[in-house]
Amino acid sequence: MRICLVYDCLFPHTVGGAERWYRNLGQRLAREGHEVTYLTLRQWDRGTDPGVEGVDVRVVGPRMRLYASPGRRRILPPLVFGAGVLWYLLRHGRRFDVVHTASFPYFSLLAAAMIRPLAGFRLVVDWHEVWSRDYWREYLGTALGAIGWAVQLACVRLRQRAFCFSRLHAARLAEHGLRGDVSVLAGEYEAGEYEGPTLVDDRRQPEPRVVFAGRHIPEKRAPAVVPAVVLAAKWIPALRGVVFGDGPDRPRVLEAIAANGARDIVDAPGFVPAETVEHALHGALCMVLPSRREGYGMIVVEAAARGVPSVVVREADNAAIELIEDGVNGTIARSASPADLAEAIIRVHRAGPQMRQSTAAWYRRNATRLSLSSSLDEVVASYSGERSVASSETLQRAA
């Protein structure tokens, strides 16, 4: 088959869950003998190979600064990218059997939908997140937020084959009038990518260490980890925390360390090699993810694969809570306040090695469902209108 993937970012030139998803998808399709084209914005120097083996990467827009402020996308790049996708598909759309695009940044999806009647390709859309009207208003303000909400709603109501990575966002699609099937893909974890030792087969007490690993953006709330660890340390002897990652909120993390007198308790080393994160996570008491908004929560699965419980926060836009069985593979905090996060960390500590054992057992029960391979099987099967054996749950078919 001839398949066109559409996303304005490309791993490893930008790093994120969606970038990894489309790169893995493109390489999987290429290995199976499909002809794969990837439309994106330029993020590398001219004349440099973008580096996706077997995939024809096509630049439909120039290198642009994507973010206007911490965690907030600029409006111009999506418009430029949408125009580039429209022009490319207008000229070449008839070549493709399938156009598979991210919903965001929306204008590229609208472009593909405009060309589909002329070109006749099947339109497949990944909805990593579906934002609420209130969140749009908070993100862009009253006027621009209303426009963003309207554009998202228009995209939802296009005829499409949709995939989500959480029941939360699949349900929102159905509520907003999706025209087509939506399936939940539970798997984004590349099974076998971690081959290091774990402590899941012994009963030793975990080390008193709390780990955060992720981008320092407002939605992740990395600074919240610091006072929570300080407070929990009053009940957990020798407790320490480490906050990995970087981003616009890093100064706030450092300020929180200073304000809480936590220089001897919490370390914030910034970006480090993956091996350093692995070493810290291995044997840790828990991984803490205080995000208010997550489309999936990959780090929860990565931690569970190592037998490490997670602490997440109950929030309306946080799909990571779907990956937690409270008291089995982690705990769900009531809020990201220091007291609530500390209480959740203390609950993990009191559970002792038994929660590590139950976390490992939870992962073994769900490993196939959570694997990247199972989700890719489902997506590839959808291109021909089929269903794969196992990984997804189809929630709705609309007229």
pLDDT tens for each residue of the chain, 399 residues long: 999 999 999 988 887 788 989 999 999 999 999 999 999 999 898 888 888 889 999 999 998 887 776 567 788 899 999 999 999 999 999 999 999 999 999 999 999 999 999 999 999 999 999 999 999 999 889 999 999 999 999 999 999 999 999 999 999 999 999 998 999 999 888 855 444 444 444 455 778 999 999 989 999 999 999 999 999 999 998 999 999 999 889 999 999 999 999 999 999 999 999 889 988 998 899 999 999 999 999 999 999 999 999 999 999 999 999 999 999 999 999 999 999 999 999 999 999 999 999 999 999 999 999 999 999 999 999 998 765 444 455 554 433
Q: Among positive and negative, which fits the CA dihedral 218, 13, 54, 1? A: positive
Within the chain, all domains assigned CATH 3.40.50.2000 are found at: 2-190+371-396, 207-369
Residue found by looking up tokens 């692995």 in the block? 278
Instruction: Write down the pTM of the prediction.
Output: 0.87
Instruction: Enter the CATH code of domain 2-190+371-396.
Output: 3.40.50.2000
E-only strand ranges, the chain? 2-6, 35-41, 56-61, 67-69, 72-73, 98-102, 122-127, 161-164, 182-185, 207-213, 240-244, 266-270, 284-289, 293-294, 310-313, 317-318, 330-333, 392-396
Cα–Cα distance between 71 and 59 in angstroms, integer?
A: 24
Which residues, in sequence order, are CB contacts of 365 under 8 Å at separation 6+? none
Q: Which two tokens stand for residue 181?
A: 């099937």
Per CATH, is 207-369 categorized as 3.40.50.2000?
yes
Helices 338-351, 225-232: crossing angle, 10 deg rounding: 50
- The reported pLDDT for the residue numbered 67 is 75
Give the whole-angstrom CA distance, residue 206 versus residue 192.
23
Q: What is the pLDDT of residue 14?
A: 85
